[in-house]
């Protein structure tokens, strides 16, 4: 009856892709018994799990790992299963199957003790990352850099066109080839869709798309899906069959473009797409979701669309990508699309997750995800950003082929971070039903 027991059981359900009900049947215990083992410490109903059950669950997990290993040996190394035009690079979530996403998440799970600063590793000692960001970024640039450093590597950053020689007319091809002589991997963000693929084609080193215009943002979608899975495992749910409501600028929101494709790899989802007229999800993406057998509902009404959602994925209006005529049309874009506490309370359940790729516009009068949800345990935005580290570490480890070295490379960290990183983080335990 402690946090380790809860983590052990939740991770087991997630690894086996079983709901709480199905898991209790699989291990031959009553649902009620399982619930008491998952209750937070301090709850009067909480119970310790018998050792024999723990041993049985461990055996099931070992058998599952052995099967996964056999499958991955048959299918080849993960790196070889997600190549972009024959190279270890990440441009689009289209490079993933459901199996390869799950395999990446198992690597991310291995990274958790390092991401949580309990362990350190030097598997990338001597390697250098080049961060080339030609658009504004806080999370993607810094978390890719931090992920590389936490694996023992170091980082060179350039930001904006002004301070790069592209301002003197240098081509993407030359820039990419030159940088590849200096560094061992590149993360690139660029305002034009398709431009990061151009960087990738000019080099054989790993290149990761950190966002290409209104195209894709694959690492964000991977950390979003990883977050959904982890949060669902706390609630005894699985991704198959979930109802996900996307809100806001679905036309230009590249994180949405990548995430809907990744979620489409799962089964029987309901996608509710809530966008102002003119900012709807591109038709080819909506068609693709339907073709994969999911239900798609499009609406401009927040109240209607949020009802019954398991996940609300709010987004910022991407004004910087608007055509001149859209600038006029959305000048007065306002409150109808603000996701706030009263709305979530009125239309969502206490178990709905509220997500956002961030940044959210928190200036007075902005109509983005409201800060009045900051103390609500359903708000998962900082769990999302925290998950960016293990997921991005996993991407580097896989693309650079060192993931197998990580477990035996870990040593205890010599310092202790605070028990909770943010002042409100403890409140999130309330989620533990
Ligand atoms: N940071 C995300 C992106 O770069 C979302 C956003 O900017 O609204 O796509
Ligand atoms: N989510 C995201 O990509 O954030 P940044 O734009 O700050 O990198």
- The answer to whether the CB of 314 falls within 8 A of the CB of 343 is no
Shortest-distance Cα residue to atom 4 of ligand 1: 211
Task: List CB contacts of 432: < 8 A, sequence separation 6 or more.
Answer: 6, 38, 39, 40, 234
Residue 337 pLDDT exceeds 50: yes
Residues 156-203 have pLDDT tens digits of 998 888 888 999 999 999 999 999 999 999 999 999 999 999 999 999
Compute, in angstroms, the gap from residue 130 CA to the centroid of ligand 2. 17
| pLDDT above 60: residue 51 | yes
CB 24 within 8 A of CB 33: yes
Best mutation site among 316, 357, 367, 368 for ligand 1 pocket (most ligand atoms within 8 Å of CB): 357
* The pLDDT of residue 222 is above 70: yes
Instruction: Inform me whether the pLDDT recorded for 78 exceeds 60.
Output: yes
What is the pLDDT, as a whole number, of residue 433?
43
What pLDDT does residue 427 have? 52
CA distances from 47 to 27, 36, 102, 433 (A): 17, 5, 31, 14
Nearest protein CA to atom 6 of ligand 2, as residue:
137
Task: Point out the ligand 1 atom lying closest to the alpha carbon of residue 318.
Answer: 8
Helix (H, G, I), strand (E, B) or coil at 151: coil
Q: Separation of 259 CA from ligand 1 center, angstroms? A: 13
* Residue 142 CA, distance from chain mean position: 15
Cβ neighbours of residue 151 closer than 8 Å, sequence gap 6 or more: 114, 121, 122, 123, 124, 393, 396, 397, 402, 406
For residues 104-114, average pLDDT: 97
Has residue 338 got a pLDDT over 80?
A: yes
Helix runs in 76-160, H state only: 78-81, 98-115, 139-150
Q: State the closest ligand 1 atom to the C-alpha of 140, by its place in the atom list counted from 1.
A: 1
* pLDDT of amino acid 325: 84
> Half-sphere exposure (CA, 13 Å, Cβ side) for 243?
12
Q: How far apart are CA 172 and CA 183, in angstroms?
A: 16
Mean pLDDT of the chain: 92
Sequence-distant contacts of 160-163: CB under 8 A, at least 24 apart: 160/133, 160/134, 161/134
Q: Is the pLDDT of residue 83 over 50?
A: yes
Chain centroid to CA 97: 16
pLDDT band at 382 (very low <50, low <70, confident <90, very high): very high
pTM for the model: 0.92
Residue 419 banded pLDDT, cuts 50, 70, 90: confident
In the reported structure, the alpha carbon of residue 196 is separated from the centroid of ligand 1 by a whole-number distance in angstroms of 16
Cα torsion 331, 337, 339, 340: sign: positive
């Amino acid at each position: 009856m402690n946090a380790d027991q809860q983590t052990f059981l939740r991770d087991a359900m997630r690894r086996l892709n079983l709901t709480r009900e199905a898991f209790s049947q699989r291990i031959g215990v009553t649902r009620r018994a399982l619930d008491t083992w998952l209750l937070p410490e301090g709850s009067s109903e909480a119970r310790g799990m018998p050792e024999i059950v723990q041993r049985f669950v461990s055996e099931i997990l070992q058998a599952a790992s052995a099967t996964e290993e056999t499958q991955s040996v048959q299918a080849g190394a993960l790196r070889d299963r997600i190549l972009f035009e024959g190279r270890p690079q990440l441009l689009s979530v289209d490079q993933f199957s459901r199996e390869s996403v799950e395999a990446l998440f198992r690597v991310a799970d291995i990274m958790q003790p390092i991401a949580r600063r309990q362990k350190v590793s030097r598997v990338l000692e001597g390697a250098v990352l080049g961060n080339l960001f030609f658009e504004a970024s806080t999370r993607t640039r810094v978390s890719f850099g931090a992920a590389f450093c936490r694996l023992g590597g170091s980082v060179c950053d350039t930001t904006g066109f002004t301070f790069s020689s592209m301002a003197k007319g240098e081509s993407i091809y030359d820039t990419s080839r030159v940088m590849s002589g200096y560094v061992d991997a590149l993360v690139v963000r660029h305002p034009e869709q398709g431009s990061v693929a151009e960087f990738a084609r000019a080099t054989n080193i790993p290149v990761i798309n950190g966002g290409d215009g209104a195209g894709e943002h694959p690492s964000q979608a991977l950390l979003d899906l990883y977050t959904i899975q982890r949060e669902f495992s706390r609630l005894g749910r699985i991704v198959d069959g979930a109802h996900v409501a996307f809100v806001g600028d679905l036309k230009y929101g590249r994180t949405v473009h990548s995430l809907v494709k990744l979620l489409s790899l799962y089964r029987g989802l309901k996608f509710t797409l809530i966008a102002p007229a003119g900012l709807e999800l591109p038709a080819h993406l909506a068609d693709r979701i339907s073709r994969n057998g999911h239900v798609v509902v499009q609406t401009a009404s927040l109240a209607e669309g949020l009802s019954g959602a398991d996940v609300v994925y709010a987004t910022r209006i991407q004004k910087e990508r608007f055509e001149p005529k859209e600038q006029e049309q959305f000048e007065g874009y306002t409150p109808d699309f603000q996701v706030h506490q009263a709305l979530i309370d009125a239309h969502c359940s206490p178990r709905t997750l509220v997500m956002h790729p961030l940044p959210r516009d928190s200036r007075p009068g902005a109509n983005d995800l409201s800060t009045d949800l900051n103390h609500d345990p359903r708000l998962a935005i900082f769990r999302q950003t925290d998950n960016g580290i293990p997921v991005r570490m996993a991407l580097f480890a896989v693309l650079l082929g060192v993931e197998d070295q990580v477990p035996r490379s870990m040593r205890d960290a010599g310092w202790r971070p605070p028990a909770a990183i943010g002042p409100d983080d403890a409140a999130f335990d309330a989620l533990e039903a």
